[in-house]
């Protein structure tokens, strides 16, 4: 059994134990569901659907489980969102969530778990993209079938969700080049051809559809994304030029 399979299996067992009859389903999305998971580069994306609100004491128990399991996960860890079934069908946007966890929030939870439980809720535009991926490419790890849980996410909601993720690319691409290079390809592929792609597939689309002067950047990003190689990005002007071009194309 590979590490990814063991972690997801443990997550399913522990989620069933803690949430009990309130649990509707557990769904895998992201790179692990789209065939491009890399243990040293990818997080494990999970969406949990519940029937009703989760009490604070159960949230605390559930978060303790996630944090413990995250310590055994690959470097980028787990990313988990918990939502109620009532916001999934018909799909509500921006989508309310009961609880969320990612590695970036780990210090907050460890420092003040009560504050985290009280305040980690609200709405998340990213969930429109997550649910779209689940419906097109995701895996049901436990519970009701995806088509019985999730309503249609409109193209407008999906585009707004993925646009929200990359609209600051011109300012931020230097801090995370591979992420923005490939995600800009994914967004433009959806805008122009209606395609819902992984980062790697987005890079392939970019090589076939984006001007040749940007191909070296895309190929370098695909190399870093798909291997243990760490790129040295010295061409900051080229990165900013690429981001400006792609955002302009997406805006059209």
Read off the CATH number of the domain in which 82 is found: 3.30.460
Same domain assignment for residues 239 and 150 = no
| Distances, alpha carbon 247 to alpha carbons 58, 135, 169, 214, 244, in Å | 43, 27, 8, 14, 5
Same domain assignment for residues 102 and 130 = yes
Q: What is the pLDDT of residue 196?
A: 97
Q: What is the pLDDT of residue 225?
A: 94
Contacts of 170 (CB under 8 A, 6+ apart): 240, 243, 244, 247
Which range among 1-10, 83-92, 145-154 shows the weakest confidence by mean pLDDT? 1-10
Instruction: Please report whether residue 88 resides in a domain.
Output: yes
The whole model's pTM is what? 0.96
Domain that residue 216 falls in:
167-251
Q: What is the pLDDT of residue 173?
A: 98
Same domain assignment for residues 173 and 233 = yes
Instruction: Please report whether residue 161 resides in a domain.
Output: no
Which range among 160-169, 183-192, 221-230 shows the weakest confidence by mean pLDDT? 221-230
The pLDDT tens digits of the residues spanning 106-132 come to 999 999 999 999 999 999 999 999 999
Contacts of 103 (CB under 8 A, 6+ apart): 43, 70, 76, 77, 78, 79
Q: What is the pLDDT of residue 108?
A: 98
The pLDDT tens digits of the residues spanning 85-104 come to 999 999 999 999 999 999 99
Mean pLDDT for all residues in the chain = 96
Same domain assignment for residues 122 and 175 = no
Same domain assignment for residues 245 and 136 = no
Q: What is the pLDDT of residue 3?
A: 84
Which range among 5-19, 30-44, 123-137, 158-172 shows the weakest confidence by mean pLDDT? 30-44
Instruction: Please report whether residue 223 resides in a domain.
Output: yes
Contact 106, 88 (CB under 8 A): no
Same domain assignment for residues 75 and 48 = yes
d(C-alpha 181, C-alpha 114), whole Å: 38
Instruction: Please report whether residue 160 resides in a domain.
Output: no
Q: What is the pLDDT of residue 69?
A: 97
Residue 122, sorted as left (phi over 0), alpha (psi -120 to 50) or beta, turns out to be left
SS3 78: strand
What Rg do the C-alpha atoms of the chain give, in angstroms? Answer: 19
Q: What is the pLDDT of residue 134?
A: 98
d(C-alpha 181, C-alpha 208), whole Å: 15
Residue 102, sorted as left (phi over 0), alpha (psi -120 to 50) or beta, turns out to be beta
Contact 98, 50 (CB under 8 A): yes
**Consecutive H or E run containing 186:** helix 177-193
149 has a pLDDT exceeding 80: yes
Q: What is the pLDDT of residue 1?
A: 55
* The token pair that represents 165 in the structure block: 């993720």
Same domain assignment for residues 115 and 182 = no
Share of residues in the chain with pLDDT > 70 (%): 100
Same domain assignment for residues 130 and 242 = no
d(C-alpha 31, C-alpha 16), whole Å: 24
The pLDDT tens digits of the residues spanning 197-221 come to 999 999 999 999 999 999 999 999 9
Q: Max alpha carbon distance in the chain (Å)?
A: 55
39 has a pLDDT exceeding 90: no
Burial of 248 (0-12, 13-18, 19+ CB in 10 A): exposed
Over residues 52-57, the mean pLDDT reads 98
Length of the chain: 252
**Residue the block writes with tokens 């980690």:** 120
Same domain assignment for residues 246 and 173 = yes
Domain C-terminal end among 155, 184, 205: 155
DSSP 119-169: HS-EEETHHHHHHHHHHHH-EEEEES-HHHH--PPPHHHHHHHHHHHHTTH
Same domain assignment for residues 76 and 146 = yes
Domain tally for the chain?
2
Instruction: Please report whether residue 216 resides in a domain.
Output: yes
């Amino acid at each position: 059994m590979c590490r990814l399979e063991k972690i997801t299996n443990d997550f399913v067992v522990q989620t069933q134990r803690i949430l009990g009859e309130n649990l509707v389903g557990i769904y895998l999305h992201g790179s692990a569901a789209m065939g491009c998971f890399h243990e040293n580069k990818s997080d494990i994306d999970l969406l949990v659907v519940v029937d009703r609100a989760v009490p604070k004491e159960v949230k605390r128990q559930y978060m303790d489980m996630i944090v413990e399991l995250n310590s055994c996960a690959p470097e980028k860890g787990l990313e988990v969102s918990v939502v109620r079934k009532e916001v999934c069908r018909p799909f509500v946007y921006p989508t309310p969530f009961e609880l969320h966890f990612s590695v970036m929030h780990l210090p907050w939870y460890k420092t003040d778990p009560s504050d985290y439980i009280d305040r980690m809720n609200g709405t998340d535009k990213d969930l429109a993209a997550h649910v779209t991926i689940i419906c097109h490419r995701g895996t049901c790890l436990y519970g009701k079938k995806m088509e019985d849980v999730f309503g249609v996410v409109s193209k407008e909601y999906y585009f707004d969700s993925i646009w929200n993720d990359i609209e600051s690319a011109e300012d931020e691409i230097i801090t995370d080049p591979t992420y923005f290079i490939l995600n800009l390809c994914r967004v433009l592929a959806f805008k122009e051809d209606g395609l819902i792609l992984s980062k790697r597939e987005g890079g392939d689309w970019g090589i076939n559809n984006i001007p040749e002067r940007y191909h070296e950047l895309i190929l370098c990003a695909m190399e870093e994304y798909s291997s243990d190689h760490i790129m040295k990005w010295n061409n900051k002007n080229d990165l900013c030029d690429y981001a400006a071009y792609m955002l302009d194309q997406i805006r059209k």
